[in-house]
Structure 1
Amino acid sequence: MPRGPAPDQMQTARQARTVGIVLVATMAAWLLAQEIGRQYGWDARYAFLFDLAAGAAFIWALVVTYRIWRKRRD
């Protein structure tokens, strides 16, 4: 009888999908915020705020990706 993927593999795949979604959504939101800020003449501190938020999301994605990589290596 064929078995499905192990629960551990399913959790890893779910985490990898989440990282992918976060990366794409962060990049899209950051680009959109930069363009809206440029069109409406927002102050540079708001652009910096969006840069920090995007950086935090990218660091989170890097950490989770590293943890996935380490888990798959073991």
Structure 2
Amino acid sequence: MVQSRPDPSDLQRARQARLVAIVLAATMVLWMGAQWLGGKLGLETRFVFLFDLAAIAAFVWVLVVTYQIWRGRRG
């Protein structure tokens, strides 16, 4: 049986998808940890909102890159 090499664009999309998954999982864990730690330490609300904004920025990045992957597969 002959195995063909994957297309370079497929490899690039796979790398992007893997990075998206890692960023998404890490963002969720770090955001939940920051929320828990902020409550335990009694941080001011403005610091907790900074964690929220950082998480939102990461989620927006994930959405943009996922959209690019999707568009790349359609083309």
Same fold (TM over 0.5): yes
1:67 paired to 2:40 = no
More deviation, 3-12/58-67? 3-12
- Tell me the TM-score normalised to structure 2 length: 0.95
Q: Which residue of 1 aligns with 2:3?
A: 2
Q: Which residue of 2 aligns with 1:29?
A: 30
Q: Which residue of 2 aligns with 1:48?
A: 49
Instruction: Could you tell me which runs of 5 or more consecutive residues in structure 1 were left unpaired when the two chains were aligned.
Output: none
Instruction: Could you tell me which runs of 5 or more consecutive residues in structure 2 were left unpaired when the two chains were aligned.
Output: none
Give the superposition deviation at 1:2. 2.0
* Number of equivalences: 74
Matching residue's letter, 2:21: G
- Tell me the TM-score normalised to structure 1 length: 0.97
Q: Aligned equivalents of 1:21 and 1:14: distance in 2?
A: 11
What whole-Å deviation, never above 9, does each CA across 1:24-55 have from its counterpart, x for those lacking one? 00000000000000000000001100000000
Percentage of matched positions with identical amino acids = 57
Give the superposition deviation at 1:68. 0.4
CA RMSD for the aligned pairs?
Answer: 0.7
